[in-house]
Every structure is written in C-alpha cells, then in structure tokens.
Amino acid sequence: MRRFCKGCLVVLLLLLNTVVLIGPLLVFALMKLVFSGYMRDYASAGVMWIAETWAEIDKLIFAVCIPTRWEIRGAEGLRTDTSYLVVCNHQSWVDIPALIQALNRQAPFFKFFLKRELIWVPFLGLAWWALDYPFMKRYSKAFVERHPELKGHDLEITQAACELFKRQPVTVVNYLEGTRFTAAKHAKQASPYRYLLQPKAGGVAFVLAAMGEQLDRLLDVTVVYPGAGIPGFWDLCCGKVPKVIIDIQARDIDPGLWQGDYENDPVFRQHVQGWVNQMWRDKDERIAALKTS
C-alpha cells in the first residue's frame, strides 16, 4: 500500500508539472505561428526553455520521491552547442526518463521524428510543432509503385522540415528496434542477440539521408536495468527500480553512411545494414557486461 500511494503521488506530481507548464508553452507556440524573424526566434527559445524546465522538474520529482539511482556513464563530454544522433535500445517507457536524466541540459533537447498525422493531436500536436519535432511523411513501397511521381518525395518533405536545424543544434533520437523489447517478440523474431530485437536500418538511414551533414556525432546509448526483469513506468513511480545504468558511447559518423541511395542501391543498403548489425552486436555484448557490473 505504501508503494501504491508513492506511485500515485509521483504520477500526480508529474501530471501537475505538465498541466502547469503546457499553458505557457502553448502561448509561445502561438507566438511562433503569428510572428517571424526575431520574435519567432525569441518564441522558439521560450518553448525550449519551458521544455527543459519541465524535464528538470521531472528529474527533481524522481530524486525526491523515489530511491532509483541513475548511473550515467560517458556523459562528461556532452555539449549543448553541437548536434547528435542518438541510437538507443528500447525496453520500457522508463527509457524516456532515463534519457532525460542523461541528456537534459547536457545536450540539445532531444527530438523524435513523428508521423505527420500526429500534428492534429489536440494540444500535443501544437506543442510538438513548437518544439520543432520533425513531422515526416513516409509512403509505402506499394503506394510509390502505384504513384511513381512521388518517389523520393517523403525524403524531400523531411529534409525541408529539418532545414531549421541548420540554425540551431539538435539531438535526434532513433530506436532501431522499432518497438519495445519483450521475450515474446524476441522469440518470434528468432533474434540473434541475447538482449536486443533485430535492428531496422531503414529508419536511421532515412534520418541520416535527411540530416547527415547537420549531425556532428553519434551517441550510442545503452540503457540497462540490473536485476530481474524489465520495469514498467508504474514500477519506477512506485520506487521498485533500484538502479538504472545509462551508458553513452560517443562516435564519429562516417559521411559514407548518408552519401548513397538506401531505397534503390542494394550495395549501399547492405553497407548501412552491416554498420547497424555490428553496432548491435557490440551493444549486446555491452549489455551483458553492464548487467554484471
């Protein structure tokens, strides 16, 4: 009962933090819609400051209310004036607070590529737009075959959406597995990795094609939950997660990873997939080592 009450308190405080700050954020978002030039840049800075403050308050709530120890490794050289591509394993909704613990105000506020349809979500769509989350339009292979005039159009749309990042640093997060890890998914895929699902190179290839020259470094982030099982967000709020390890490996990005046609060049596609597979083999070994550290 004590842990249940603690969980309810943490969730209530997180919701209160969101409700209080989303109002000012939406005001600055409306300013971005109305103004241009200097005033629009001022509104963008306001939106980013509110988002980072929201994340810092969330960190404070976790620090005060729950005993979880966040062990962050490799964050010493991070900067807020450069752009990163973050590649991370994905096991639980706890992964998001883990990234916040490691990256907020240590690197530019992180962003995800979102489906264009999500811009119509009430309040959140406007907030994501104000935070400059890139809204992407992806056409299926079958759709492009029926409409060949649209070939490459989805990449052009995304590249246009990313133009503003040429004027400001950014951290883009990509989950190569495409979904959260579960034992059932692992078995269904017959994954060759012990702790990971099979990675999908298409998503990161798309990000690199759209933003390659704007990204300075790759942050290979590995989130590990020592002990038995993968915790859920409610477990975190109830104080049932004693320790989370966030291991960060900073790497240079080979320009050859975006100087090709992933969709139509099988040799280039194999090159990118090979790079992803090797990274995943290394990550699987690192998880095994971190679990026993």
Q: Residue 27 domain-assigned?
A: no
Q: Nearest CA to 96 among 70, 120, 129, 122?
A: 70
Domain tally, the chain = 1
Q: Nearest CA to 110 among 118, 101, 119?
A: 101
Q: Residue 5 domain-assigned?
A: no
Q: What is the pLDDT along the chain (293 residues), one digit of tens a residue?
A: 788 999 999 999 999 999 999 999 999 999 988 888 788 888 888 999 999 999 999 999 999 999 999 999 999 989 999 999 999 999 999 999 999 999 999 999 988 877 777 778 887 788 888 888 877 766 556 655 676 665 656 666 666 666 667 678 889 898 999 889 999 999 999 999 999 999 988 888 888 888 888 899 999 999 999 976 899 999 999 999 999 999 999 999 999 998 888 878 899 999 999 999 999 999 999 999 998 87
- Residue listed under structure tokens 């300013």: 31
Give strand pairing partners of 219: 86, 250
Q: Residue 50 domain-assigned?
A: no
Q: Residue 138 domain-assigned?
A: yes
Strand locations in the chain (E): 69-73, 84-88, 110-111, 114-115, 135-136, 171-174, 217-224, 243-252
pLDDT at 154: 62
pTM of the model: 0.88
Q: 175 is in which domain, residue-wise?
A: 69-291
Q: Residue 8 domain-assigned?
A: no
Q: Residue 97 domain-assigned?
A: yes
Do the bridges between strand 114-115 and strand 135-136 make them parallel or antiparallel, or are there none, so unpaired? parallel
Token code pair at residue 134: 């890139």
Q: Can you tell me the distance from the alpha carbon of 290 to that of 95, in angstroms, rounded to the nearest whole number?
A: 16
Q: Residue 260 domain-assigned?
A: yes
* CATH number for 97: 3.40.1130
pLDDT at 112: 81
Total count of residues recorded for the chain: 293
Q: How is the chain split among helix, strand and coil, in percent rounded to 5?
A: 55, 15, 30
pLDDT at 83: 92
Q: Indicate the DSSP class of residue 117.
A: G
Q: Residue 21 domain-assigned?
A: no
- Please state, in angstroms and as integers, the Cα–Cα distance from residue 119 to each residue in 97, 137, 275, following that order: 23, 12, 33
pLDDT at 101: 97
pLDDT at 71: 96
